[in-house]
């Protein structure tokens, strides 16, 4: 029971972190048809910026400044990079962001070195929030939940209840018509791209000290965020949210499950032995293949529902 509750909470924290990254990615995609491969890199930059700024200012200011910097970088990428290659088609845009991954990844190594940075949880949040069956739940995780829930509400309000949100939604589906009505659609694109990067930066600030701030964090986070977006369905914010939570739960729960497929087969009389590839797949405990499960789930959902969970359109 205690394992269940603690894993549930941790899965929620991780899932919300995933959603912060995936929401920006899916917004950018549904609007511009561009998949930002550098999204994980921006997340990494957010963490490094936050670490760097805690030398001069406190964590709370860094919480605002680092995402703003990431947003500015995003705007620069859109204006000076993507817009230039736009006329060469979507593949060129994809390739452009793909090249950015190398440059940002290497630049981070150049600026901060290869070793993990001592980016710590702020002292004001470094206490156990409550104790559950003898296990302490850190206040910082509660804070992460708060920030991501706030972000979720913020996005929803912005998109559904404001004029800007309405224009963004209109530009999402009918860019030509929106432009004809006198709105500056390229500016909307820049805002959305910068906004997505802002969210990735924010996720970096609060994720950098939850996980670890090191040059490999972009490669560690990037693929799973893509998996979330594909699983949820390209272009669907709700699907993206559901997928984030599911993936967060799957990754967290798989760590504590020590069973394997063989345990399910044993009652019906099949006894697989670990002496070939099939036997190994059947007998490997779930805890050891935790990293594989989200990818497997993605492949499975593509097999049964090529558009993903709530995907609305093909590409």
Q: Which positions touch another protein (CB under 8 A)?
A: 29, 33-35, 81, 84-85, 88, 90-92, 94-96, 98-103, 105-107, 109-114, 219, 223, 226-227, 229-230, 234, 275-277, 279-281, 284, 288-289, 291-292, 295-296, 298-299, 302-303, 306, 314-315
Burial per residue of 91-119, b for 16 or more beta-carbon CB atoms within 10 angstroms, e otherwise: eebbebbeebbeebbeebeeebeeeebeb
Task: Please state, in angstroms and rounded to a whole number, the distance separating the CA atoms of residues 149 and 65.
Answer: 20
Q: Which two tokens stand for residue 165?
A: 């949100």
To which H or E segment does residue 185 belong?
Answer: helix 185-208
State the nearest-atom distance from the C-beta of 55 to another protein, in Å.
16
Please, which residue, 170 or 287, has the CB nearer to another protein? 287
| Helix, coil or strand: residue 132 | strand
Q: Which two tokens stand for residue 118?
A: 């001592």
State the nearest-atom distance from the C-beta of 181 to another protein, in Å.
27
Contact, 262 vs 20, CB < 8 A? no
From residue 138, give the alpha-carbon distance in Å to each of 10, 96, 204. Answer: 10, 40, 19
Please, which residue, 142 or 279, has the CB nearer to another protein? 279
| Helices 2-32 + 217-232 axis angle, to 10 | 80
State the nearest-atom distance from the C-beta of 209 to another protein, in Å.
21
Q: What is the 3-state secondary structure (H, E, C) of 54-79?
A: CCCCCHHHHHHHHHHHHHHHHHHHHH
Task: Please state, in angstroms and rounded to a whole number, the distance separating the CA atoms of residues 202 and 151.
Answer: 10
State the nearest-atom distance from the C-beta of 115 to another protein, in Å.
9
| Helix, coil or strand: residue 223 | helix
State the nearest-atom distance from the C-beta of 253 to another protein, in Å.
18
State the nearest-atom distance from the C-beta of 216 to another protein, in Å.
12
Close Cβ partners of 7 (under 8 Å, ≥ 6 residues apart)? 249, 252, 253, 255, 256
State the nearest-atom distance from the C-beta of 22 to another protein, in Å.
12
State the nearest-atom distance from the C-beta of 85 to another protein, in Å.
6
DSSP for 71-111, written as a single string:
HHHHHHIIIIIIHHHGGG-HHHHHHHHHHHHHHHHHHHHHH
């Amino acid at each position: 029971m205690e394992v269940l509750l603690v894993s549930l909470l941790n899965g929620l924290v991780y899932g919300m972190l995933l959603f912060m990254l995936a929401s920006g990615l899916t917004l950018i995609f549904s609007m511009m048809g561009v998949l930002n491969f550098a999204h994980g890199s921006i997340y990494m930059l957010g963490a490094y910026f936050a670490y760097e700024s805690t030398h001069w200012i406190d964590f709370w200011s860094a919480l605002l400044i680092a995402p703003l910097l990431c947003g500015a970088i995003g705007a620069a990428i859109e204006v000076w990079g993507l817009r230039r290659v736009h006329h060469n088609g979507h593949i060129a845009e994809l390739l452009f962001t793909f090249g950015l991954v190398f440059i940002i990844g290497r630049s981070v190594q150049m600026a901060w070195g290869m070793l993990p940075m001592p980016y710590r949880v702020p002292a004001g949040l470094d206490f156990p929030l409550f104790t559950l069956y003898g296990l302490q739940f850190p206040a910082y995780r509660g804070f992460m939940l708060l920030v991501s829930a706030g972000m979720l509400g913020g996005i929803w309000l912005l998109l559904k209840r404001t004029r800007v949100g309405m224009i963004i939604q209109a530009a999402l589906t009918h860019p030509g018509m929106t432009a004809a009505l006198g709105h500056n659609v390229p500016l909307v694109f820049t805002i959305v791209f910068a906004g997505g990067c802002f969210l990735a930066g924010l996720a970096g600030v609060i994720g950098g000290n939850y996980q670890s701030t090191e040059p490999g964090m972009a490669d560690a986070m990037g693929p799973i965020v893509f998996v979330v977006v594909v699983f949820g369905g390209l272009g669907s914010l709700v699907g993206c949210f559901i997928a984030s939570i599911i993936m967060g739960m799957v990754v967290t729960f798989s760590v504590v499950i020590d069973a394997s497929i063989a345990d399910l087969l044993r009652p019906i009389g099949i006894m697989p032995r670990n002496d070939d590839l099939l036997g190994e797949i059947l007998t490997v405990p779930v805890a050891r293949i935790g990293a594989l499960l989200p990818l497997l789930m993605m492949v499975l959902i593509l097999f049964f529902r090529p558009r993903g969970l709530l995907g609305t359109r093909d590409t």
